[in-house]
């Protein structure tokens, strides 16, 4: 676990998310940090920025992809990417409010549809990232123009959302400026989903020791799935190592795997 956490803190991009948990009678939060090859999960009593700093480490300087939760505001905006999946839900809410808010929301929705159509081609390898960036220039200008107009649309919730997004405008387009960054936080949401199901089935954990077990198992399962490794084989080897007093097998990919072009699971 310590090795996996140290590895995550050295990666060029990380995707973070958190969800509610219970430890005994106390409220807690399950956090996850996803990188290309390794995922780490922890349970803490806080949903604040201190936990995000713990996961990333004080020296982390990669691209950080998250939602707009306040726990991440300490990280430089120009090195963040805010999740467009969350923004699409905000846009749908604008449309549902009607009036001028609906007009702005529908216009934003049209721009984001073009953006994701092009992004899908980037992911498929049929559109170069450099070409995508050039296509996106007028889209970026129009989206920001619409957000500016939304600040005075006469619908308070929409005005507030537009003001908030404009404060984070640099973080809207990091995936356009830099290859290797996704526009959504879907990887972290997928990684944390088993924890949500675990919590619903068990109502959380009853002790700190139970929380450490959940952290370890979620880290192991998520990471091994990324690397196409067998979970049962790994857990068996870890138990055998413990019985023999030997170190646990590593969760990290080997340099040979990376050099040979093994790709992590999406």
Domain of residue 54, CATH code: 3.30.420
Q: Please classify residue 70 by burial: count the beta carbons closer than 10 Å to its beta carbon, then call 0-12 exposed, 13-18 middle and 19+ buried.
A: exposed
Claim to verify: residue 11 and residue 31 sit in the same structural domain: yes
Q: What is the extent of the structural domain holding 122?
A: 84-175
- pLDDT at site 264: 57
Which of 175, 196, 227 is at the close of a domain?
175
Claim to verify: residue 213 and residue 226 sit in the same structural domain: yes
Write out the DSSP string of 124-187. HTSS-HHHHHHHHHHHHHHHHHHHHHHTTSS-HHHHHHHHHHHHTHHHHSHHHHSTT--SS-HH
Calpha distance 57→103 (Å, rounded): 43
Evaluate whether residue 213 is within a structural domain: yes
Claim to verify: residue 88 and residue 171 sit in the same structural domain: yes
- pLDDT at site 254: 84
Claim to verify: residue 71 and residue 131 sit in the same structural domain: no
Q: Please classify residue 76 by burial: count the beta carbons closer than 10 Å to its beta carbon, then call 0-12 exposed, 13-18 middle and 19+ buried.
A: exposed
Count how many domains the chain has: 2
Claim to verify: residue 43 and residue 168 sit in the same structural domain: no
Claim to verify: residue 74 and residue 196 sit in the same structural domain: yes
* 14 in Cβ contact with 174 (< 8 Å): no
Pull the structure tokens for residue 166. 């404009």
Pairing of strands 26-34, 63-66: unpaired
Claim to verify: residue 93 and residue 74 sit in the same structural domain: no
- pLDDT at site 257: 67
Calpha distance 200→21 (Å, rounded): 9
What Cα–Cα distance (Å) separates residue 169 from each residue in 86, 206, 227? Answer: 15, 42, 34
pTM: 0.93
**pLDDT tens for residues 233-253?**
999 999 999 999 999 999 999
Claim to verify: residue 168 and residue 205 sit in the same structural domain: no
Residue with tokens 């529908």: 106
Q: In terms of residues, how long is the chain?
A: 266
Claim to verify: residue 169 and residue 97 sit in the same structural domain: yes
Claim to verify: residue 17 and residue 149 sit in the same structural domain: no
Evaluate whether residue 264 is within a structural domain: no
Evaluate whether residue 266 is within a structural domain: no
Which of 148, 175, 202 is at the close of a domain?
175
What Cα–Cα distance (Å) separates residue 132 from each residue in 13, 125, 178? Answer: 20, 11, 11
Evaluate whether residue 226 is within a structural domain: yes
Evaluate whether residue 252 is within a structural domain: yes
Evaluate whether residue 265 is within a structural domain: no
One pLDDT digit (tens) per residue for the chain, 266 residues:
999 999 999 999 999 999 999 999 999 999 999 999 999 999 999 999 999 999 999 899 999 999 999 999 999 999 999 999 999 999 999 999 999 999 999 999 999 999 999 999 999 999 999 999 999 999 999 999 999 999 999 999 999 999 999 999 999 999 999 999 999 999 999 999 999 999 999 999 999 999 999 999 999 999 999 999 999 999 999 999 999 999 999 999 988 767 665 555 55
Claim to verify: residue 89 and residue 171 sit in the same structural domain: yes
Evaluate whether residue 96 is within a structural domain: yes
Pairing of strands 13-23, 26-34: antiparallel
Helix (H) and strand (E) counts for the chain?
12, 5
**pLDDT tens for residues 165-189?**
999 999 999 999 999 999 999 999 9
Residue 235 CB coordination number (10 Å): 15
Evaluate whether residue 166 is within a structural domain: yes
Claim to verify: residue 161 and residue 199 sit in the same structural domain: no
- 39's enclosing H/E stretch is strand 39-44
Helix, strand, coil share (%) of the chain residues, nearest 5: 60, 15, 30
Which of 175, 201, 234 is at the close of a domain?
175
Query: In 140-171, which positions are buried (b, 16+ CB within 10 angstroms) versus exposed (e)?
Result: beebbebbeebeebebeebeebbeebeeeeeb
């Amino acid at each position: 676990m310590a090795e996996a956490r140290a590895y995550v803190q050295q990666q060029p991009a990380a995707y973070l998310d958190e969800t509610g948990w219970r430890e005994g009678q106390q409220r807690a939060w399950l956090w996850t940090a996803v990188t290309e090859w390794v995922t780490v999960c922890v349970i803490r009593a806080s949903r604040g920025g201190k936990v995000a700093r713990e996961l990333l480490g004080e020296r982390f300087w990669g691209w950080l992809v998250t939602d707009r939760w306040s726990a991440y505001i300490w990280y430089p905006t120009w090195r963040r990417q805010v999740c467009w999946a969350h923004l699409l839900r905000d846009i749908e809410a604008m449309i549902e409010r009607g009036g001028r808010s609906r007009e702005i929301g529908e216009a934003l929705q049209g721009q984001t549809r073009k953006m994701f159509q092009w992004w899908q081609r980037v992911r498929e390898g049929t559109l170069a990232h450099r070409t995508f960036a050039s296509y996106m220039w007028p889209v970026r200008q129009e989206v920001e123009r619409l957000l500016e107009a939304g600040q005075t649309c006469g619908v308070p919730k929409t005005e507030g959302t537009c003001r908030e997004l404009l404060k984070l405008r640099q973080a809207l387009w990091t995936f356009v400026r830099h290859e290797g960054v996704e526009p959504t936080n879907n990887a972290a949401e997928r990684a944390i989903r088993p924890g949500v199901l675990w919590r619903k089935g068990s109502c959380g954990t009853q002790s700190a020791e139970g929380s450490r077990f959940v952290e370890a198992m979620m880290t192991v399962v998520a990471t091994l799935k990324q690397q196409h490794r067998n979970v049962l084989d790994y857990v068996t080897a870890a138990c055998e190592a413990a019985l023999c007093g030997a170190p646990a097998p590593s969760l990290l990919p080997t340099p040979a795997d990376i050099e040979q072009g093994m790709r992590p699971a999406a």
